[in-house]
Structure 1
Amino acid sequence: MDIKQIQDLIRFVSKSGVNEVAIEQENFKITIKTNQVTTVVNATIPDAQHPVAAAPLAIAPASAPAAQPVDDTSKYVTIKSPMIGTFYRSASPEKPLFVNVGDEIKTGSVLCIIEAMKLFNEIEAEISGRIVKILVDNASPVEYDQPLFLVEPM
């Protein structure tokens, strides 16, 4: 793999939204890790004189995400995750989704399930209102206090 191919790969990974890519071939190994600020590249390229010589590549700034129009979310209530786990929008793949954007909810309505250590925890609405936005993709990991839904109170 030459430097141009590596640069193209870095650009592709930065734009794709993938967090980490590792490629290992017979005489070459590269790992590209990205986040919002930087792209870190580690590569090992064996050569004739130094069989395991590390050839660190540059830390390149990731391309800045496109500017998104700022929505006024001050009138909405954010429902946050009460735990770490995996977010599910339905009880099983065959079952209907608990809520969709535009749905009206009441206090106590089940909004989603968060699975933590093989326990499935129903997350209930603490307010009545209308779902404006679902902030997490189905089957995605969530952190404690991570925003899950925006709700317009009624």
Structure 2
Amino acid sequence: MSLTPDDVKRILELVQNSAFDELRLEAGDLKLVVSKHGRIVDAGGAATAEARLAPTAAPPASAPASPVPAVAPAQAAPAAAAAAPKSPAGSSSDESNLIPIKSPIVGIFYISPEPEAPPYVETGAEIDEDSTVGLVEVMKVFNAVRSGVRGTVVRRLVGNSEFVEFGQPLFLVRPAER
């Protein structure tokens, strides 16, 4: 397996934008280890090398330059939740029985197989357990996201081409009556 400079840049961007501190990738003779905080720990628990993940874009002039995110991952989730659009009043009880469809891996989420193609599913669509609801791309490999639930799509929670984490909810589904 060989990686192009664009592949390496993409991996670094994915790690930088994730909640993970370290990524280890082994494929054949290729071994890649990336750490956000500069300490790489081997399998025995010993620090083996110093390596830092450089920022993927220049920070704003008012912000200090740092490869470490300004907000810790544990703090980022509440901030993102606060920035998310609020549901209409009274709908929280309606949503208590909804089932999330979660991302099976970290990567970039796509709602359709091609840029000009219609989305796999729309709000209001009836789906079954094997329905494909989107794709998650990692290093130019596209992985289908299956719903795993039968019901009606109530809401999409992420945008097209948006970075997603493992286990992040992508859709909310009202389960079908049995």
Q: Percent identity?
A: 36
- Structure 2 distance, partners of 1:140, 1:31, is 24
The yes-or-no answer on 1:30 pairing with 2:51 is no
- Pairing 1:1-154 to 2, within 5 Å after superposition: 22-23=59-60, 29-31=61-63, 68=86, 69=89, 71-72=92-93, 73-154=95-176
Question: Aligned partners of 1:90, 1:65: CA distance in 2, in Å?
Answer: 26
Structure 2 counterpart of 1:44: none
SS at match of 1:22: coil
Over 3 Å counting, the alpha-carbon distance change for 1:78 and 1:95 in structure 2 is same
Distance 2:113 2:85 in 1: 35
Runs of 5+ unmatched residues, structure 1: 1-19, 24-28, 39-63
Q: Measure the CA separation in 1 of the matches of 2:118 and 2:173.
A: 20
Distance (whole Å) between structure 2 residues aligned to residue 129 and residue 112 of structure 1: 16
Deviation at 1:127, TM superposition (A): 1.3
Quick one: distance in 2 between partners of 1:95 and 1:148? 19
SS at match of 1:31: coil
Alpha-carbon distance in structure 1 between the residues aligned to 2:83 and 2:167: 24
Alignment root-mean-square deviation, CA: 2.9
Displacement of 1:30: 2.0
Retained in 2: the 8 A contact 1:21–1:31?
A: no
Distance in 2 separating the partners of 1:132 and 1:125? 13
* Higher-helix-fraction structure: 2
1:66 shift after superposition = 9.3
Structure-2 separation of matches of 1:106 and 1:137: 22
Instruction: Supply the distance in 2 between the matched residues of 1:83 and 1:119 (Cα, whole angstroms).
Output: 12
- Ranges in structure 2 where 5+ consecutive residues have no aligned partner: 1-56, 77-81
What is the TM-score when the length of structure 1 is the normalising length?
A: 0.59
Greater share of residues in strand: 1
Q: Deviations over 1:90-119 (max 9, x none)?
A: 011111110011111112111000001211
Give the total of aligned pairs: 105
